[in-house]
Amino acid sequence: MTEVELPETPLLDELEKGPWPSFVKEIKKAAIESEKAMKAGKKIKLPGAAKGLLKVLELSYKDKRTHWKHGGIVSVVGYGGGVIGRYCDLEDKVPEVWHFHTIRVNMPAGWFYTTKALRAICDAWEKWGSGLTNMHGSTGDIILLGTRTEHLQPMANALAYLDKFYGSPAPFDIGGSGSALRTPSACMGPALCEFACYDTLDLCYDLTMTYQNELHRPMWPYKFKIKCSGCPNDCVAAKARADFAIIGTWKDEIQIDQEAVKEYAKIIDIEKQVVEKCPTKAISWDGKELKIDNKNCIRCMHCINVMPKALKPGKERGATILVGGKAPFVDGAIIGWVAIPFIEVKKPYNEIKEILEAIWEWWDEEGKFRERFGELIWRKGMEEFLKVIGRKADVRMVYAPRNNPFIFWRELNP
């Protein structure tokens, strides 16, 4: 078999050294293996794409700048989002990546896969794309990295019939991009975690299916992200990365297994590692019995994290909803804040859906171009927002009351 020739990449080659798995090796592997597969008779539309990416990236390392241009708008039939157009500014030098569009593919909730599903995606992407992926993009989607405009629709079709023709247990749909509902994501929740306060995977799947239209066809002022975390450990970073963070919680007492606590007392220093670290000093340990003042507990999870065999979230479970989380542009980065202290999370999730739909209607009516939902609340005020979602103000929404008397008395000044 003839050797596959790779472009010279002295700078990138440096990043094949060292113990951490190398992304350069991944790109080279795609370049070599796709060419080999093509020579072996496999149908491969873009055998030079990974090689082209190596060339462009080596130039970026030399020039210390990107070589990607502002993308044109590309899509698949029937959708307005999910595909990010990308063009190289070196089309003469590296024509094989002149188009290098990304397709976002909606992952299964919690990123659980069978090998049949993954192999099917690989086979389709080997045929229609660069053979490069991100597992996963930050929002959660599978990122198919690099294809040409004319291959977008065939690849979307391959994904839509992945079960029929590629052996996947189910087809895969495109995820979100643009001014739309983005792909919701969830922590592993009850599939693996004993802390989960609601079924994150099911809620994530249900919202994704309920709002397919909002996800595929951008219709809003800007993007809107939903993330589902099963407990306040927030293992999908929902409160920083989602406009609508659904964070599992409970209302009653932490469940204590005193015998298991005693077992922990043999191997850890409960006083030092648990009691002293409790943010509200709600927990105490006298060497015999662990007590929790649940009125004072703020459900931070620390004691449960340290003693998972002995402590469990309470039984009256639901979620706290934090709104507004986002990155800096334009009004500054936001960690979401409390909008709904407690909401039930029970199929078919009507209460959550009513709130989402009320928010979207208001934001679509009032939001400016590229104004995130959190910024709209800052502009309009919490009072108006709470009216929209039909909820009352609650002291749990703030760290502190206002420090000035400049209050709107709209009811007196109609």
Partner 1 sequence: MAEEKEWEETVEPKTDFGPPHYSIMLHPVIKNNYGKWKYHEVVRPGVIKRVAESGDVIYVVRFGSPRLLSIYTVRDLCDIADKYSDGYLRFTSRHNVEFFLTDPDKIEDLIKEVQEKVGFPCGGTWDATKGEYGLTNIVHTQGWVHCHTPATDASGIVKAVMDELYEYFTDHKLPALCRISLACCANMCGAVHASDISMVGVHRKVPKIDDDAVRRTCEIPSTVAACPTGALKPDMKRKTVILDKDKCMYCGNCYTMCPGMPIFDPENDGVAILVGGKLSDARYPPQLSKVVVPWLPNNPPRWPEVVQTVKKILETWAAHAEKYERVAEWIHRIGWERFFELTGLEFTEKLIEDYHRTPYLYTTFRTSAAFRW
Please report how close the Cβ of residue 414 comes to partner 1 at its closest, in angstroms.
25
Please report how close the Cβ of residue 390 comes to partner 1 at its closest, in angstroms.
20
CA distance 115 to 389: 42
Give the closest residue to 358 by CA, choosing from 327, 321, 326: 321
- 170's CB contacts (< 8 A; 6+ apart) are 117, 162, 163
Q: Is 135 in the site for partner 1 (CB under 8 A)?
A: yes
- In the window 49-88, what residues touch partner 1 (CB under 8 A)? 50, 53, 57, 60-61, 63-71, 76-79, 86
**Which three-class secondary structure state does DSSP give residue 243?**
coil
- Answer for which of 46, 49, 103, 109 binds partner 1 (CB under 8 A) is 109
Give the closest residue to 250 by CA, choosing from 232, 238, 229, 236: 232
* Radius of gyration for the alpha carbons in the chain, expressed in angstroms and rounded: 25
- In the window 217-246, what residues touch partner 1 (CB under 8 A)? 232-237, 239-241
Note whether 146 and 102 are within 8 A (CB): yes
Please report how close the Cβ of residue 364 comes to partner 1 at its closest, in angstroms.
17
Tally of CB atoms within 10 A around 183: 28
Q: Is 113 in the site for partner 1 (CB under 8 A)?
A: yes
CA distance 165 to 285: 61
- Answer for which of 41, 259, 390, 403 binds partner 1 (CB under 8 A) is 403
Q: Which is nearer to partner 1, 38 or 301 (CB)?
A: 301
Kindly determine how many residues on this chain lie close enough to bind partner 1 according to the rule CB under 8 A: 166
- Answer for which of 91, 165, 291, 350 binds partner 1 (CB under 8 A) is 165
Print the binding letters for residues 272-301 with partner 1: x by CB under 8 A, - otherwise.
xx---xxxx-------------xxxxxxxx
**Which three-class secondary structure state does DSSP give residue 46?**
coil
- Answer for which of 80, 205, 387, 389 binds partner 1 (CB under 8 A) is 205
CA distance 219 to 332: 24
- Answer for which of 75, 147, 168, 177 binds partner 1 (CB under 8 A) is 168
CA distance 175 to 181: 9
Please report how close the Cβ of residue 289 comes to partner 1 at its closest, in angstroms.
20
What is the distance between the terminal CA atoms of the chain, rounded to a whole angstrom? 83
Please report how close the Cβ of residue 413 comes to partner 1 at its closest, in angstroms.
21
Please report how close the Cβ of residue 95 comes to partner 1 at its closest, in angstroms.
17
How many residues in total does the chain contain? 414
Q: Is 126 in the site for partner 1 (CB under 8 A)?
A: yes
Please report how close the Cβ of residue 273 comes to partner 1 at its closest, in angstroms.
6
Q: Which is nearer to partner 1, 70 or 410 (CB)?
A: 70
CA distance 94 to 59: 11
CA distance 254 to 303: 10
Q: Is 256 in the site for partner 1 (CB under 8 A)?
A: no
Q: Which is nearer to partner 1, 364 or 368 (CB)?
A: 368
- Answer for which of 46, 196, 254, 256 binds partner 1 (CB under 8 A) is 196
Q: Is the link from the previous residue into 99 a cis peptide, with omega within 30 of 0?
A: no
Note whether 130 and 110 are within 8 A (CB): no
Q: Is 154 in the site for partner 1 (CB under 8 A)?
A: yes
Give the closest residue to 177 by CA, choosing from 83, 73, 69, 243: 83
CA distance 189 to 201: 7
Question: Which among 132-140, 284-292, 347-355, 383-391 is the span making contact with partner 1, rule CB under 8 A?
Answer: 132-140
Q: Report DSSP state, residue 254.
A: P
- In the window 300-339, what residues touch partner 1 (CB under 8 A)? 300-302, 305-309, 320, 322, 327-338
Q: Is 388 in the site for partner 1 (CB under 8 A)?
A: no
Please report how close the Cβ of residue 140 comes to partner 1 at its closest, in angstroms.
8
- In the window 340-369, what residues touch partner 1 (CB under 8 A)? 341, 368-369
Q: Report DSSP state, residue 107.
A: P
